[in-house]
Amino acid sequence: MSDIKIRNFHWGKDFKRIIKIVQEVWFFDAPTKRIGYLNALNFMLHYLNIATHIVVTVDEHDNATGILGLTTKQDQPLFRQNRFICCKARALEFTSKVALYFWPQALVSRLFNGIFFENYQKLRKMVPNPQDPEFLVMIVDPKIKGKGLGRALVQAGEDILKSKGFNQYYLLTDSSCDVGFYERLKMDKVLDVSLCFDIKHEPAYDHYLVGFLRGLIYVRNI
């Protein structure tokens, strides 16, 4: 783990690479690659636009291989600190949302995203200490999963929070994610509820959506 390199996120250098990873991991089964790309953009910017701290793991060529975005709730979101990046990120999020909305082939993705965000809003209302910092999003290049990058990202996020005087944070997730990772890190599961995904009538997604997922909240003392 000591040879894993982590640095702060850099928009120009890392953004495209991270979106590619997200598309590969979460939107590989979108009807077309372009819809997968728009989904990845929309999904990631939903979180990155509110993140106050973003760190990435990098390979020997300084290319991003994983990302963690978190919010302390007290600092200014990172992208807002730079007017150019702020405008670009907001515009991209808006454009991807509109494009997905009007693209007939993106119907299932749109329904899926809508239900996903709605469910997470419900889950957010059940957080025991909503004023605490939140780990918003974390993902590692699937080609190098299981090599300690996820653990290193969590450690880096916790170091940031500790240096700012926080002693607790939480994260929301669901059973379609690699929740075994959080169990392995011995995070405290404080909520486990059923989340309904009622788009079973869409044949394209029958294999993927079994009608419900577990919504989970983990809390960690640091």
Ligand X SMILES: CC(C)(COP(=O)(O)OP(=O)(O)OC[C@H]1O[C@@H](n2cnc3c(N)ncnc32)[C@H](O)[C@@H]1OP(=O)(O)O)[C@@H](O)C(=O)NCCC(=O)NCCS
Binding-site member from 177, 191, 193, 219 for ligand X (CB under 6 A): 177
- The piece of 9-17, 42-50, 135-143, 157-165 that touches ligand X (CB under 6 A) is 135-143
Out of 67, 70, 149, 209, the residue judged to bind ligand X by CB under 6 A? 149
Contact flag: residue 180 with ligand X (CB under 6 A): yes
94 or 122: CB nearest ligand X: 122
Give the Cα separation of 133 and 36 in Å (integer).
30
Please say which residue, 146 or 203, places its beta carbon nearer to ligand X: 146
The verdict on 7 binding ligand X (CB under 6 A) reads no
Among 58, 69, 173, 195, binds ligand X (CB under 6 A): 173
- Closest to 139 in 3D by CA, of 3, 1, 9, 2: 9
Report d(CA 216, CA 193) in Å as an integer. 7
How far apart are CB 185 and ligand X at their closest, in Å?
A: 6
CB of 89 to ligand X, least distance (A): 20
Strands (E), the chain: 5-8, 53-58, 64-71, 134-140, 168-174, 188-196, 212-221
Task: Please state, in angstroms and rounded to a whole number, the distance separating the CA atoms of residues 74 and 89.
Answer: 21
Which of 11, 103, 181, 212 binds ligand X (CB under 6 A)? It is: 181
Residue type, 5: K
Q: Mask of contacts with ligand X, 23-62, x by CB under 6 A?
A: --x-------------------------------------
Q: Does 3 bind ligand X (CB under 6 A)?
A: no
Measure the N-to-C terminal CA separation of the chain; round to a whole number of Å: 19
178 near ligand X (CB under 6 A): yes
Give the helix/strand (H/E) hosting 15: helix 11-26
Nearest of 64, 20, 216, 51 to residue 137 by alpha carbon: 51
139 binds ligand X (CB under 6 A): yes
**Which listed residue (88, 97, 145, 214) binds ligand X by CB under 6 A?**
145
Length of the chain counted residue by residue: 222
Q: Provide the 10 A C-beta neighbour count for residue 90.
A: 14
Q: How far is the CB of 97 from ligand X (least distance, A)?
A: 21
Q: How far apart are CA 222 and CA 218, in angstroms?
A: 13
| Chain contacts with ligand X (rule: CB under 6 A) | 25, 138-140, 145-151, 173, 177-178, 180-181, 184
